[in-house]
Structure 1
Amino acid sequence: MTDVALENLTLSRWMASTSSMDVLTLGELILPGAHNSGVDKKATYAAPGVAHWVACQNNSFYDQLRNGARALDARVEYDVDPRGVGTFWFQHNGVKSSRSLENLVMQLIRFLEENPDEFVLVDFHELNSGNTAFDHQEFNRFLLTHLGPRIIPYSNRYLSLGQLKEVSGVQRVWLAAQQHPDLYHAWFQPKIAHLWSGIGDTSIKELEAHIDRVMQRPPTGSNPWSLSATSYTIALGPVNIKEQLNQWFDPGTGHWALNCSVINADFFEDSRLVINCRTANLIKSRQRPK
């Protein structure tokens, strides 16, 4: 199979349509990421008028995947209702959305059934206690029960995409989370390091300076890492920086994309981030020693 021309590319299967990438391992990929993927404009929130302040994406998990995101930044809170029913909800700085872990799993399975040769990194960046302690045991049981054979085991983490396809027709999900005794280590990869500016209300100028610092000495190694390419204002919340994403991560004019692992962005599909990551992976695969 040859690489599909850009003008014929379908974003929902951009990885499968880019066969040159099959020589790369998961740790070598350059992935477009959806920052705070469970907090989107189409979700509902208990507190009125907070969507503009907390929502970091336009659409649900399924649409994020169909639009090309391949790394989902997942921040989860565990709550138990008065009936004693526990639920894992997605949240942003403690503000819960109507998206639950069940929503994520169902939509991820639907997407992979439609696009069986796409690979998805689910980066559980936060596992927080809500009105009770986080239930790691139930979290572990739920994911292994429902994703089971779709999970890429730790023992296969160094395989290339092509090798993973040969090993299994369904192992397509990389789960990453902070190590815990109740999380089965054979199925959970190490926590993904997030490199962000450290400034809560990061301006575009401050963000560019932060990325420039990271790019001077980007992380190395086999484990993915996440570059926070996000800007925020106290008054308006997450900022849509599509023009900057297009410029900064264009592999045709600069090196930033080629030095990245996960580019974690808000409202990613408004930009050319997916296309730029695909182009960077093509370049990287051609530069890889035979």
Structure 2
Amino acid sequence: MNLRQIVSKLIISVIIGSTIDCSISDTNDKDPEVWITVSSLADFNRKLNRTIERQIELNWRRVTIDGQHNQWIGLFNENPSNEKLVKSGKNYSIDSINIDLLNNGSYRTYIQFPYKKFSMKNLNNSCLKYWIALIKNKKIIAKNCLKIHPFWMEKNMAIIGNMSLLDLMIPGTHNSGSFDRYDLYEDTLTNKYTLCQDESIFNQLIYGIRFLDLRIAYDNNNEDKQRVWIVHGPVVMKHTLNSVIQQIKRFMEMAPKEVIIIDFHRFEKGFAKDELSQQKIRRHHRKVWTILDKHLLKYLVPKSMGLRTKLNELIAKNKRIIIGYTSDNYLIDRQYLFPQTKHLWPNTDIVNEMVDYFNKTICDVFPGELVSSMAQLTAEKFKLIIDLYDGLRTMAQNVNRLITDAFHWDSGMGWTDCANVVSSDYFLGNNLIDISIKTNLMRSKKQSTVK
């Protein structure tokens, strides 16, 4: 892929088939919406002699097209004002695009979003420098910013406090521990198809993710004493379970009114029945529990409280972490281990098939169970070997705008009425965190009306 051609390229959000219509339509009865995402694409541009990654994307929906050629969308490095627009016009923005024909769309700018280092000092302002605005006749019609949501549960507790985790729409990440920044020299076939995120666990939580999908292995041969590692399938990541759990602990200390789910979805090497004796498997599971006990015990929700406990009660008792665990039968002390989260996994590399799968399954009822819609494409083995997809970054790019539209409350798909957890790859490329927060406020209102 030639990224020189990609820079400043317009991307039209087109969904194959008739599942979501992104063509011009009558949306005059609803306000336009704009938001910022970060492209998952990354590559080294040899002509420019630099890496092109994390390009900021401008997104819009429900924009009324009147044929007057007087509307544009701009990217700004401050909260835009009408006064400056009148004075400077498009020169006020750092990038922009005319939108004369499309009421829904996306535009990838040349601006690259830097990795952020968060601390308690810089969490007060939720906007991260970059703003988007829809402009018509030098007047702002709609605007938004690229945000973090470290305290979204706390800020909305007066509204959602009487809801349980089963009632909420919860933003999550797929293979949460399989993260790393793009590196040209490590952009191997293996890394292209095992790395699913480029933000650390701590940063994922700061941005607003509340469901973490972890897969682990026990490595007897590694000289490092930290033998429990994060893995994606057979591939060992750079991160130990201990380091990931410490990131979670740091967040829990900084955000005392947030509730999260940690789902140990798979246990790979060092946990398999056909590989080791039962005694050794138990020993390895005890090692996992020792790490959890050391760093997170005071936050763990006991199974006796159940998943229907309201957020208010969980926070009041400082029981704010649900542990989903696939193999709890290997541990004697199971009081803090819930069943693993049920995954609705399309297991396809075809967009239409993913949409069809969720249309058929997302509203299935699983009483008392957390259910995660795994909203990402899955590579087929042979196509992966020949790198037909150009890696998981490209696969995420191909689907992230789609899932933003499909899980939106006015999409007409009905997914947002049923979704519990929604997990994605390269989550900054979609708007599921914002959508989840707003959906929860709407669900609470509906529950109040029913009562």
Same structural fold, with TM-score higher than 0.5 when normalized by the shorter chain: yes
AA aligned to 2:411 is T
Could you tell me how far apart the structure 2 residues matched to 1:274 and 1:58 are?
16
Sort the Cα spacing of 1:58 and 1:80 in 2 relative to 1 into closer, same or farther, 3 A. same
- The answer for the alignment partner of 2:350 in structure 1 is 203
Using the size of structure 2 for normalisation, the TM-score is 0.58
AA aligned to 1:65 is L
SS in 2 for 1:122: strand
The answer to whether residue 402 in structure 2 is matched with residue 244 in structure 1 is yes
The answer to whether residue 281 in structure 2 is matched with residue 281 in structure 1 is no
The answer to whether residue 316 in structure 2 is matched with residue 163 in structure 1 is no
- The answer for the alignment partner of 2:93 in structure 1 is none
The answer to which of 248-257 and 35-44 deviates more is 35-44
Could you tell me how far apart the structure 2 residues matched to 1:249 and 1:141 are?
38
Please report how far the alpha carbon of residue 224 of structure 1 lies from its aligned counterpart in structure 2 after TM superposition.
Answer: 0.6
- The answer for the alignment partner of 2:165 in structure 1 is 26
Sort the Cα spacing of 1:258 and 1:184 in 2 relative to 1 into closer, same or farther, 3 A. farther
Structure with the greater relative contact order (CA < 8 A, sep ≥ 6): 1 or 2? 1
SS in 2 for 1:56: coil
Sort the Cα spacing of 1:286 and 1:151 in 2 relative to 1 into closer, same or farther, 3 A. same
AA aligned to 1:176 is G
Whether the 8 Å contact between 2:182 and 2:198 is mirrored in structure 1 is no
Whether the 8 Å contact between 2:214 and 2:262 is mirrored in structure 1 is yes
- The answer for the alignment partner of 2:423 in structure 1 is 264
- How many equivalent pairs are there? 280
Could you tell me how far apart the structure 1 residues matched to 2:288 and 2:148 are?
33
- The answer for the alignment partner of 1:225 in structure 2 is 371
AA aligned to 1:119 is V
CA RMSD of aligned residues (A): 2.5
Please report how far the alpha carbon of residue 209 of structure 1 lies from its aligned counterpart in structure 2 after TM superposition.
Answer: 1.4
Whether the 8 Å contact between 2:347 and 2:377 is mirrored in structure 1 is no
Whether the 8 Å contact between 1:219 and 1:225 is mirrored in structure 2 is no
AA aligned to 1:42 is R
Using the size of structure 1 for normalisation, the TM-score is 0.88
Could you tell me how far apart the structure 1 residues matched to 2:332 and 2:229 are?
18
Sort the Cα spacing of 1:159 and 1:43 in 2 relative to 1 into closer, same or farther, 3 A. farther
The answer to whether residue 161 in structure 2 is matched with residue 13 in structure 1 is no
SS in 2 for 1:129: coil
The answer to whether residue 182 in structure 2 is matched with residue 36 in structure 1 is no
Could you tell me how far apart the structure 2 residues matched to 1:30 and 1:183 are?
32
SS in 2 for 1:40: coil
SS in 2 for 1:155: helix
Sort the Cα spacing of 1:117 and 1:7 in 2 relative to 1 into closer, same or farther, 3 A. farther
Deviations 1:177-235 (A, max 9, x none): 12323152210111111111234xx22222111111113x4233122111111113422
Could you tell me how far apart the structure 2 residues matched to 1:276 and 1:257 are?
9
SS in 2 for 1:90: strand
Unaligned runs of 5+ in 1: none
- Report the structure number with the largest CA radius of gyration: 2
Sort the Cα spacing of 1:193 and 1:10 in 2 relative to 1 into closer, same or farther, 3 A. same
Sort the Cα spacing of 1:144 and 1:53 in 2 relative to 1 into closer, same or farther, 3 A. same
- The answer for the alignment partner of 2:335 in structure 1 is 186
Unaligned runs of 5+ in 2: 1-125, 127-142
Whether the 8 Å contact between 1:78 and 1:86 is mirrored in structure 2 is no
SS in 2 for 1:143: helix
AA aligned to 1:53 is Y
Whether the 8 Å contact between 2:172 and 2:212 is mirrored in structure 1 is yes
Which residue of the other structure, out of 102, 105, 127, is the alignment partner of 2:267? 127
